């Protein structure tokens, strides 16, 4: 036993020591080299999964790097549904871009602005700053030698009337905060004096449209919030609380394996979450959703569903800046879902524009995993390109010396160096095209259960339940951007377990 105690003690002390060391390094970054405006200007649009993965691995000494994004932080989206109910506080999953950039070897310029258009002929990006301090919109242009578009996607509404005006989305921190406030607004208003039965039922009806992973995870988090906190603190309205998930296809989580779809649907039934499949929402008003149900005999019926909170999670649509760029490139005329790219992620029809993440069409699903791998690939490609250019310049210099200098460098040595450099060049020029490696899919489904489709040897392992939930938690904890994020998320989990979620409405 003494040995077990000693080993445990040493491991905990080691882990604490290491954490303190990482925190110290984080708080005391080394001096940065100044930007070199004589180097090629690499403009990166966006601070999401794709662009930040690129920035993390990019050797910024090789380029004059400029980052443009309206969001001055990276957002760890997989834990965003947990922020809607206060299981996790929103700042725990945000990492300031300034802190990420400050840890690069050479300094990087950041502008908090939105790219409004790209002119591929003049090689400039028009950027717009809507700062409240200025009180006016400021527009300017940034020239680029190389451009990376990593602006993600916006929410798809398919032009369905009323969606933008009346529903909440779940993509950004502001969306999660808005949902959190609205849930409590519905609860407090339903508990208000002299409400009719019909009105309480409406207010306590939480409708989620879209049975993809976003809709499923949010529905699970919402039901947990109700069971673990609202039911105890506001018992008078609790029998009326209801979550309904509406999905146009015959089942939820279409990208997961059949066994996990069944497991999720059964778990939802146990949790008393109502699933309406083969139901397509056609119209949204202030208080109701109008949807068309396809019945087993194929006939259709239009139903009206009153709601208090409506969360719209029906996937991605192309952002205006991307649509505008696509319209300027003839080779993009047949692309619908984003910028079509070649195997090196170069935007088809251009030479110096790359696209990564949800705004790029490379043949993969729009996920953080794909975006991060594309960002890593591009960093490797750009680092290699810079090394290639440096080697080529050296070869040119040595070659001209060979021709001009009689006395200086002995020609045999110079020739040998050229030969060695050319061998190296051949190796680094041989960058393989981008290939995505799927690690698996994970989703939280409520009641401390999760589902996972994980790549295992050469096959696939489909698993669901409480153990998978522990795996889900540890996987996402380890994937958090920084030690600070990891510690904050862990503390939030402990805090909400011990004291319950904070239901105050700020």
Q: Tokens 């750009």: give the residue.
A: 382
Among 41, 48, 225, 275, binds ligand FAD (CB under 6 A): 48
Among 17, 143, 315, 343, binds ligand NAI (CB under 6 A): 315
- Measure the N-to-C terminal CA separation of the chain; round to a whole number of Å: 51
Q: Tokens 């060391």: give the residue.
A: 21
Among 35, 41, 42, 49, binds ligand FAD (CB under 6 A): 49
Among 22, 293, 317, 368, binds ligand FAD (CB under 6 A): 368
168, interface contact from ligand NAI, ligand FAD, none, CB < 5-8 Å by kind:
none
- Nearest 5°: the CA angle 487, 376, 34 is 85
**Where does this chain touch ligand FAD (CB under 6 A) — which range of 17-25, 131-139, 226-234, 366-374?**
366-374
- Each as own residue / partner, the long-range contacts of residues 360-365 (CB below 8 Å, 24 or more positions apart, any chain) are 360/50, 360/149, 361/335, 361/337, 362/434, 362/436, 364/436, 365/255
49, interface contact from ligand FAD, ligand NAI, none, CB < 5-8 Å by kind:
ligand FAD
* 367 interacts with ligand NAI by CB under 6 A: yes
Give the interface size with ligand FAD as a residue count (CB under 6 A): 32
Residues 149-188 that bind ligand FAD (CB under 6 A): 150-152, 170-171
CA dihedral 485, 486, 490, 495 (to 10 degrees): -20
For residue 96, list its beta bridge partners.
Answer: 73
* 80 interacts with ligand FAD by CB under 6 A: yes
Q: How far is the CB of 354 from ligand NAI (least distance, A)?
A: 21
* 338 interacts with ligand NAI by CB under 6 A: no
Among 82, 167, 214, 288, binds ligand NAI (CB under 6 A): 214
Which distant-in-sequence residues (6+ apart) come within 8 Å of 344 by Cβ? 354, 381, 431, 433, 434
Beta carbons within 10 angstroms of residue 21's beta carbon: 11
100, interface contact from ligand NAI, ligand FAD, none, CB < 5-8 Å by kind:
none
Closer to ligand FAD by Cβ: residue 70 or 411 = 70
Q: Residue 371 gets which letter from DSSP?
A: H
**Where does this chain touch ligand NAI (CB under 6 A) — which range of 63-71, 325-333, 361-369, 372-380?**
361-369
Among 60, 62, 64, 69, binds ligand FAD (CB under 6 A): 69
Q: Tokens 């935007």: give the residue.
A: 347
Closer to ligand NAI by Cβ: residue 368 or 425 = 368
Q: How far is the CB of 324 from ligand NAI (least distance, A)?
A: 23
- The span from the CA of 113 to the CA of 189, in Å, is 38
Mark residues 411-450: x for contact with ligand NAI by CB under 6 A, - for none: ------------------------------xxx-------
Token pair belonging to 380: 């490797």
Contact 471, 464 (CB under 8 A): no
171, interface contact from ligand FAD, ligand NAI, none, CB < 5-8 Å by kind:
ligand FAD
Closer to ligand FAD by Cβ: residue 366 or 465 = 366
Among 81, 220, 308, 446, binds ligand FAD (CB under 6 A): 81
Give 207-244 as a DSSP string: EEE--SHHHHHHHHHHHHHIIIIIHHHSGGGGGG-EEE
Contact 347, 355 (CB under 8 A): yes
* Sign of the alpha-carbon torsion through 44, 49, 50, 52: positive
* 366 interacts with ligand NAI by CB under 6 A: yes
Closest CA to 239 of 204, 206, 268, 274: 204
- The span from the CA of 55 to the CA of 48, in Å, is 10
**Where does this chain touch ligand NAI (CB under 6 A) — which range of 249-257, 375-383, 455-463, 481-489?**
249-257
- The span from the CA of 263 to the CA of 205, in Å, is 24
* Sign of the alpha-carbon torsion through 454, 170, 232, 202: negative
Residue 356 phi, psi dihedral angles, 5° rounding: -135, 155
365, interface contact from ligand NAI, ligand FAD, none, CB < 5-8 Å by kind:
ligand NAI
68, interface contact from ligand FAD, ligand NAI, none, CB < 5-8 Å by kind:
ligand FAD
User: Which residues of the chain form contacts with ligand NAI (CB under 6 A)?
Assistant: 78, 158, 160, 209-215, 217, 246-249, 254-255, 280-281, 313-316, 365-367, 441-443
User: Which residues of the chain form contacts with ligand FAD (CB under 6 A)?
Assistant: 45-51, 68-71, 77-78, 80-81, 114-115, 150-152, 170-171, 214, 319, 321, 357-358, 366-369, 371
């Amino acid at each position: 036993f003494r040995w077990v105690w000693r080993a445990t003690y040493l491991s905990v002390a080691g882990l604490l020591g290491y954490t303190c060391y990482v925190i110290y390094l984080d708080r005391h970054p080394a001096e940065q080299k100044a930007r070199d405006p004589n180097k090629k200007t690499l403009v990166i649009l966006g601070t999401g999964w794709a662009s930040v993965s690129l920035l993390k691995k990019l050797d910024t000494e090789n380029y004059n790097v400029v980052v443009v994004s309206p969001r001055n932080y990276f957002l760890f989206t997989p834990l965003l549904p947990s922020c809607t109910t206060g299981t996790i506080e929103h700042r725990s999953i945000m990492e300031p871009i300034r802190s990420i950039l400050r840890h690069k070897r050479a300094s990087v310029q950041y502008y908090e602005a939105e790219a409004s258009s790209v002119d591929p002929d003049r090689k400039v990006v028009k950027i717009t700053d809507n700062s409240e301090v200025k009180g006016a919109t400021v527009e300017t242009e940034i020239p680029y030698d190389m451009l990376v578009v990593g602006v993600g996607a916006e929410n798809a509404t398919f032009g369905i009337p009323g969606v933008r005006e009346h529903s909440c989305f779940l993509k950004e921190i502001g969306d999660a905060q808005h949902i959190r406030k609205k849930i409590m607004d519905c609860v407090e208003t339903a508990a208000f004096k002299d409400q009719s039965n019909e009105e309480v039922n409406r207010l306590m009806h939480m409708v989620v449209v879209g049975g993809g992973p976003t809709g499923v995870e949010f529905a699970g988090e919402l039901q947990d919030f109700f069971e673990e906190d609202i039911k105890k603190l506001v018992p008078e309205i609790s029998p009326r609380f209801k979550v309904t998930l509406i999905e146009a296809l015959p089942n939820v989580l279409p990208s997961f394996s059949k066994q996990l779809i069944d497991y999720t649907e059964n778990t939802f039934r146990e949790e008393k979450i109502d699933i309406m499949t083969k139901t397509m929402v056609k119209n949204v008003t202030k208080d109701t959703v109008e949807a068309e149900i396809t019945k087993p005999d194929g006939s259709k019926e239009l139903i009206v569903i009153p709601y208090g909170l409506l969360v719209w999670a029906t996937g991605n649509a192309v952002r205006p800046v991307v649509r505008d760029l696509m319209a300027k490139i003839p080779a993009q005329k047949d692309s619908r879902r984003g910028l079509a790219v070649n195997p090196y992620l170069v935007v088809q029809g251009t030479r110096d524009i790359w696209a990564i993440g949800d705004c790029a069409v490379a043949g993969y699903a729009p996920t953080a995993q794909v975006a991060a791998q594309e960002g890593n690939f591009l960093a490797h490609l750009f680092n290699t390109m810079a090394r290639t250019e440096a080697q080529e310049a050296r070869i040119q210099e040595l070659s001209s010396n060979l021709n001009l200098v009689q006395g200086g460098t002995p020609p045999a040595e110079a020739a040998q160096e050229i030969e060695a450099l050319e061998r190296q060049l051949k190796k680094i020029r041989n960058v393989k095209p981008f290939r995505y490696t799927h690690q698996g899919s994970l989703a939280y489904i409520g009641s401390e259960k999760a589902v996972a489709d994980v790549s295992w040897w050469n096959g696939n392992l489909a698993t669901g339940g409480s153990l998978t939930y522990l795996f889900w938690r540890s996987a996402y904890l380890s994937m958090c951007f920084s030690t600070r994020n990891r510690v904050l998320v862990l503390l939030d989990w402990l805090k909400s377990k011990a004291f319950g979620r904070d239901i105050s409405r700020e």
